[in-house]
Amino acid sequence: FPPFDYGWLIWIALVPIMIVCRRLSAVHSFVFGLLSGAGMAIGIFWWIFNVPGFRYFHAIPAATYVGLYAGVWCAGIPATRRLRVPLVVSAPAMWVALDFLKAHAGFLSLPWASLAHSQHNYPVVLQISSVTGEYGITFLIVAVNAAVAACFFRSVFKQQIFAAVLLGGSIIFGVHQLSQDDTS
């Protein structure tokens, strides 16, 4: 996210978290996710400390709230192993559901800092949002992360093929959309 704009990094940023959580219990994964999510929230929303009157003691409950979503997502990862649901499907589905909840949670809604927002410099990737919305881009990002993480779990190549087809199809669609002449 700005001001750093390393949007390409999001395609592998969740891999270490998935590897750690896949090996932990649901409770330990939740705690790890809560702490990781809270740290992420402080890193992304660092600018809020420039708001007059906002203090560090305000940041603790705010970061904890944002971290709860990451904690729930991380707690779900060990369950996918027990249920034998492919990580490349379950992880993105859980993330998108939690992202939707976070963006529509009444007065606690926080639609900022979606994974899809990190791709603002990549118009080829963004084109698929005309069909799927921002949640499709988020699903794609988490699916690619899950496919990379699955390489560490003696996974068959079905997950990597699934993610590659999604990513390749999205890029082909994006290139096609951007090559269309809208002047006629």
Statement: residue 3 has pLDDT above 80: no
Nearest to 22, CA basis, from 86, 68, 95: 86
Supply φ then ψ for residue 36, to 5 degrees. Answer: -65, -45
Residue 78: the pLDDT is 94
Dump pLDDT digits (tens) for 43-84: 988 889 999 999 989 999 999 999 999 999 999 999 888 888
The pLDDT value given to residue 13: 96
Distance of alpha carbon 179 from alpha carbon 174, whole angstroms: 9
pLDDT value of position 108: 94
